[in-house]
């Protein structure tokens, strides 16, 4: 039996470069036992991915990653697992976020044009492969046109928070996101706590506040978490009676250094993480 699992991946339905079907095929090829598709603010790829997983005998988790309002130095995302993609409120909420994202893209393209950069919405639509358009697609065009040398420079010079082409993203409050995911039958995990940008004591306090709102889990195993930080997250899980989740944050060619299941090479998410998560969901 395959030992690896990956509960944090992205497809062309958001900002990955593999279709949901191809993502599942690559997961099977890589030797994964279980896979979650957690696209940003969309569940559009779930049905395709589930069908492919069933055909290949791969354990599949329907997921979503939702950006939420956060006043700290970094950013906060919440992962939803085992969500019902036909839940009316979830579908409606994600649709409204999609519409807000579309308006954001228009404003960012206008800002880039005002900076003298030749870029169009049509180019973004073509390069997105029919999925959600986001800043990684803008970065790809900037690299392709020689405006910048790489993704990091695109974000550092133009697209990151505080940079000249940046437009804030529409976000739910943490409470809204937790409620919507749980009402859709899902479990909620705090994604990559490292990216909150807080020192550990502040992370602990923030996790405590999310637990009070109904948080179910914390992503302890993650590509950019070193052993010490992973252990810190595991301790938080015990302290606040949270489940543990983990994944690579795979995006395909948009983050080529990150591979399915193993992240940058050292990631190993215990398969028990999947079984415990599924058990908790089934017992609800």
Task: Give a yes or no: residue 156 inside a domain.
Answer: no
Task: Give a yes or no: residue 116 inside a domain.
Answer: no
Task: Give a yes or no: residue 122 inside a domain.
Answer: no
Instruction: Tell me how many domains the chain contains.
Output: 1
**pLDDT at residue 2, rounded to an integer:** 65
| Residue tagged 């301790």 (tokens) | 235
* pLDDT over threshold 70, residue 1: no
Domain range spanning residue 10?
4-93+171-282
Task: Give a yes or no: residue 162 inside a domain.
Answer: no
Q: What is the mean pLDDT of the segment spanning 35-59?
A: 97
Concatenating the DSSP letter of every residue in 187-241 gives EEEE--GGGG---HHHHHHHHHHHHHHT--EEEEEETT--HHHHHHHHHHHHHTT
CA atoms 155, 160, 166, 171: torsion sign = positive
Task: Give a yes or no: residue 253 inside a domain.
Answer: yes
Mean pLDDT for the chain overall:
95
Cβ-contact 36, 11 below 8 angstroms? no
Q: How confident is the model at residue 208 (pLDDT cuts 50, 70, 90)?
A: very high
**pLDDT at residue 243, rounded to an integer:** 98
Euclidean distance between CA atoms 108 and 124, whole angstroms = 12
Task: Give a yes or no: residue 56 inside a domain.
Answer: yes
Q: Which residues contact 282 (CB under 8 A, 6 or more apart)?
A: none
Task: Give a yes or no: residue 104 inside a domain.
Answer: no
Neighbours of 246 (CB within 10 A): 27
Residues in the chain: 284
Q: How confident is the model at residue 81 (pLDDT cuts 50, 70, 90)?
A: very high
Give me the long-range contacts of 93-102 (CB less than 8 A, separation at least 24).
Answer: 93/172, 93/180, 94/41, 94/42, 94/43, 94/64, 96/170, 97/41, 97/66, 97/170, 97/172, 98/41, 98/42, 98/132, 100/169, 100/170, 101/41, 101/132, 101/133, 101/134, 101/169, 101/170, 102/133
Euclidean distance between CA atoms 112 and 43, whole angstroms = 29
Q: What is the mean pLDDT of the segment spanning 147-174?
A: 94
Q: What is the mean pLDDT of the segment spanning 147-173?
A: 94
- For the entire predicted model, the pTM comes to 0.89
Distance of CA 22 to the CA centre of its chain: 18
Task: Give a yes or no: residue 204 inside a domain.
Answer: yes
**pLDDT at residue 127, rounded to an integer:** 86
Question: What are the structure tokens assigned to 29, written together?
Answer: 């090829």
| Residue tagged 């900037």 (tokens) | 142
CATH of the domain at 264: 3.20.20.140
């Amino acid at each position: 039996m395959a030992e690896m699992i990956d509960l944090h991946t992205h497809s062309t339905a958001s900002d990955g470069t593999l279709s949901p079907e191809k993502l599942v095929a690559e997961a099977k090829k890589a030797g994964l036992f279980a896979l979650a598709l957690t696209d940003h603010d969309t569940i559009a790829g779930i049905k395709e991915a589930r069908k492919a997983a069933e055909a290949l005998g791969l354990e599949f988790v329907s997921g979503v990653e939702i950006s939420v309002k956060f006043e700290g130095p970094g950013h906060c995302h919440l992962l939803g697992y085992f969500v019902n993609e036909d839940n009316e409120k979830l579908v409606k909420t994600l649709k409204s976020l999609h519409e807000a994202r579309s308006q954001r893209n228009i404003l960012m393209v206008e800002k880039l044009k005002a900076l003298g950069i030749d870029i169009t919405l049509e180019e973004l639509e073509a390069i997105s492969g029919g999925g959600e358009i986001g800043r990684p697609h803008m970065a790809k065009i900037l690299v392709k046109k020689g405006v910048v040398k790489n993704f990091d420079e695109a974000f550092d010079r133009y697209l990151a928070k505080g940079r000249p082409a940046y437009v804030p993203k529409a976000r739910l409050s943490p409470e809204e996101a937790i409620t919507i995911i749980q009402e859709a039958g899902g479990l909620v995990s705090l994604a990559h706590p490292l990216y909150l940008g807080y020192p550990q004591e502040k992370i602990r306090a923030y996790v405590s506040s999310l637990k009070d709102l109904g948080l179910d889990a914390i992503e302890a195993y993650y590509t950019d978490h070193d052993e010490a930080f992973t252990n810190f997250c595991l301790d938080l899980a015990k302290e606040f009676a949270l489940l543990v989740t983990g994944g690579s944050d795979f995006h395909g060619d948009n983050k080529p250094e990150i591979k399915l299941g193993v992240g940058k090479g050292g990631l190993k998410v215990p398969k028990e993480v999947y079984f415990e998560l599924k058990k908790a969901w089934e017992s609800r």
